Structure formats: C-alpha cells, structure tokens
Structure 1
Amino acid sequence: MAIEEGVVFKMGTAGKAWVRTTRSSACESCSSRDTCQGEGAGQEMEVEAINTAQARVGDRIVLNIKTASLLKATFLLYVFPILAMLAGAIIGQRIAEGRGSDPSAMAALFAFGFFGLAFVVIRITGRRLAKDNSYRPEIIKVRNHPPQPSEDLMAHQAEP
C-alpha cells in the first residue's frame, strides 16, 4: 500500500475528488515518473480519487494507492507487450522452418504483429480496469477541514 498526502482542489462526479499531490521520494525510483500528469516543474501531480472520507475542496488528505493493483497495471503496460513480442518471434520462426521460409523475416513479422496485438489487448483491458475502483487511489483520511463560510458565520454569531 502506497500512502501519499495531498489537497483536494476539485470535486468530481459520483463520490470522487481531484487531488493535487507533491511527488514524494518514492516517485524518483518509479519507472513511470515521467508519464504522471504533472504541472509546472513536475513537482505536483493531479489524480482523481475515490472520496470515501467525505473530503471537501481545500482539505488536506491522505491518499491510499493499492500496490497490488499498481503492480498488475505495470505488468500489463510494460511486461505483457515484450512477452507477446517474444512469443510472436518464436512462433514466426517455427512456422518459417516448417514452410522453408526465411526464419528471421518471419520471426520479425510475427513479433511485430503480436506486439501490435498486445496493444489492442491493453486498450480493451485498460477500459475495463478504468471502471474497477480497486485500480483507483482512495482518500482514506482527512487531515483538516477548512472552515466553510456558514461555519464561520455560526462561530461569529455564537460569540458574545
């Protein structure tokens, strides 16, 4: 489980909120650090999170990112295409040997074909996983609530 802190800057739809976080030291060793949606000098990132803690705009929050889901998505994006390409090369070489064709050309043809097919599989799987909340960050704790205008008014009215 990866824990990050951030600030809610916009409310989303259906129990979600947009959170702005600052890159932590854990981000420096991540291979995807350059693909995260960032602003400015790359120190801030924005992410849509499930708002189970009922956070409001301006709240400082704690964000939970499930490590198992992160690893599965990383495998799908980085390892699966390489494995598909290797499988395509091996299959292409075997077919070429059986037909008397050039094994290198057939291996390359099948490797790139399987590589392209892997991206189709990733696209379809990615759409399915985007609907699965276990692959989304979740707001698990609110550090502080900024006072709302109505709360300020009530506090001033209660003072003698």
Structure 2
Amino acid sequence: MLEEQALVVDKDSQGVWVETCRQSACQSCASKSSCGHSLLGKMSRGQTQRMLVKTHLDLEVGDQVMLGLSESAFLKGSALVYLLPLIAMIIMAIVGEQLFGADSWQSLALAASGLLIGFLFVRSYSKQHQLDPNYQPVVLRKLVVPNASVQKIPLSTL
C-alpha cells in the first residue's frame, strides 16, 4: 500500500476533501543534480492537489490523515499512462516504415498519430474508470498531531 499524508480541508455528504502536497524523493537521490525528474519536482514544489475521498471515519476540517492507494492500482495506472502511448507510437512507426520507408514524412505522421491515439485512449479509459473504487485512494487512519501549545515542565523544577 502506497501512503501519503493529507490535510482535510472540507466535508460534504460524499466524503471529505483532502489536500496533498506534491513531493518527490529527489532530495535523497545521488543523481538529483543531473536528473530531469528532479527539475520537474523543483518546478512543482509547494503545489497541492485536492481530491474527494470517501471514508467511514469521523473527520473534521484541519485533521491530518494518511491516505493509501494499492500498489496494483498504481502500477496499472503508471503502465497505462506511460507505456501505452509509446507502444502505440512504436507500432505505428513500424507500420509507416513498412509502407512508406524509414525516411518518409508519412512514417513520421503515422508515429505521431499512434502517440496521439494512445493518449486519447488513456484519457477515455481514465474518464470511464474515474469512480472505480480500485483506483481511488482511501483514508487509512487519522494522524495524531502533538499539541504545540502544551508546555513541558522540567522534572527538576517540581
């Protein structure tokens, strides 16, 4: 189960609205100075994503929660988004090469159309499955945040 911390920002009859802050693991990576993903992470730092999450817990605005998403849903979604358009592009590029030759603009146009078809399929699939509970995050638990206003009294003064 993949976990992410979130903040409850609103409640309604269908569940709670939570916000998560985009994070990346780039700070602990040795290749962060030469990686494109690190650059994207720096550009999106501080951006939040808001989503509706169904839950059976009694939560209030301001509560911090731990969200969870199954690894299989994450892997399926990642494969769909990243691999399918590339595979469609490669197949169409091979078809274009066989029909028109490797140096023709028609081959390039077929490859681009394969990529576009792949993206359109991903968009259609995601719209059809946006309410599928297998692809939805769930609230795993409410996080207990220590109260910062309570002062600690050293034992030596008692």
TM-score using structure 2 length: 0.69
Give 1:108's aligned amino acid: L
Counterpart of 1:86 in structure 2 is 90
Match of 1:65 among 53, 66, 69: 69
In the TM superposition, residue 111 of structure 1 has moved relative to its aligned partner by: 0.6
Give 2:50's aligned amino acid: V
Q: Distance in 2 between matches of 1:107 and 1:62?
A: 48
Provide the aligned C-alpha RMSD in A. 2.9
Matched positions, count: 133
Give 2:94's aligned amino acid: I
Counterpart of 2:127 in structure 1 is 127
Counterpart of 2:138 in structure 1 is 138
Task: Give the 3 Å change call, closer, same or farther, for CA 23–118 of structure 1 in structure 2.
Answer: closer
Q: Distance in 2 between matches of 1:67 and 1:74?
A: 10
Cα shift readout 1:71-96 (whole Å, capped 9, x = no counterpart): 21122222211111100000111223
Q: Distance in 2 between matches of 1:71 and 1:104?
A: 36
Q: Distance in 2 between matches of 1:13 and 1:51?
A: 11
Give 1:117's aligned amino acid: I
In the TM superposition, residue 55 of structure 1 has moved relative to its aligned partner by: 2.0
Establish whether residue 104 from structure 1 lines up as the match of residue 103 from structure 2. Answer: yes
Unmatched tracts of structure 2, length 5 or more? 30-36, 146-158
Unmatched tracts of structure 1, length 5 or more? 97-101, 146-160
Q: Distance in 1 between matches of 2:81 and 2:55?
A: 26
Q: Distance in 2 between matches of 1:136 and 1:33?
A: 28
Cα shift readout 1:93-128 (whole Å, capped 9, x = no counterpart): 1223xxxxx443232121111111112211110101
Counterpart of 1:54 in structure 2 is 58
In the TM superposition, residue 13 of structure 1 has moved relative to its aligned partner by: 4.8
